[in-house]
Amino acid sequence: MAADLKIEKGSVLIGKPNILGDVTFNRAVILIADFNKDGVVGFIINKPIEDNLKDLLPEVEKEFMVFDGGPVEKDKLYFLHNKPNLIEGGVKITEELYWGGDYKRVMALINNAEIDHQDIKFFLGYSGWGEMQLEDEIQNEVWYLENQLKSSEILACDRPSYWNAKVRKIGGDFLIWSNAPENYNYN
């Protein structure tokens, strides 16, 4: 981790190639939604699941992608959004990005076409770390930490190949991994 970077709400973790055997975190890009003395909560932003929101919630009239947020509480639905003026009760992550809020209001806003894909992103589960666990993983070079991702980029990310683009941008020793197949048996 660079000396000038620190973990904070809105930071992004990019899984390094040394976590190849980990199905959940291999090629993951994770937004840190909360960071405090008790631990860290994040959401994997680049791993969509097969089911969409309409499949999971019959009251929803529009299709929205749903992402694998991480291995914790995979039976619960979470969301990020950029509409605090429309969705009350959200937790501020950055000036432009919020976590959670009034669920019933979200469903009404979706069904009335008042919010769309560029405004909200859904997750099953989340990623969590205990006190000092994430710092240790960064120190052990499991993650690359970035603090400059825009909320629009987080909400727009809709495919696993986003990891490849981030790795290409990092460059250096990571560049070779940007074109490697996800399953190395295909190489």
Q: Let me know: does 93 contact 99? Beta carbons within 8 Å.
A: yes
Nearest to 25 by CA among 122, 111, 119, 126: 126
Res 10: pLDDT: 94
Backbone angles phi, psi at 134, to 5 degrees: -65, -40
Res 182: pLDDT: 57
Q: Is 172 left (phi over 0), alpha (psi -120 to 50) or beta?
A: left
Question: Chain-centre distance of CA 43, in angstroms?
Answer: 4
Tell me which architecture the domain covering 12-174 has in CATH.
3-Layer(aba) Sandwich (3.40)
Nearest to 99 by CA among 45, 138, 46, 24: 45
Tell me the average confidence (pLDDT) per consecutive run of 10 residues in the chain, 187 residues long.
71 80 86 93 97 94 96 97 97 96 97 96 97 90 86 91 85 65 51
Q: Give domain limits for the chain.
A: 12-174
Res 176: pLDDT: 60
Res 22: pLDDT: 75
Report the C-alpha gap between 81 and 148 in whole angstroms. Answer: 18
60 is written with which tokens? 């929803």
Report the C-alpha gap between 24 and 1 in whole angstroms. Answer: 22
Res 2: pLDDT: 46
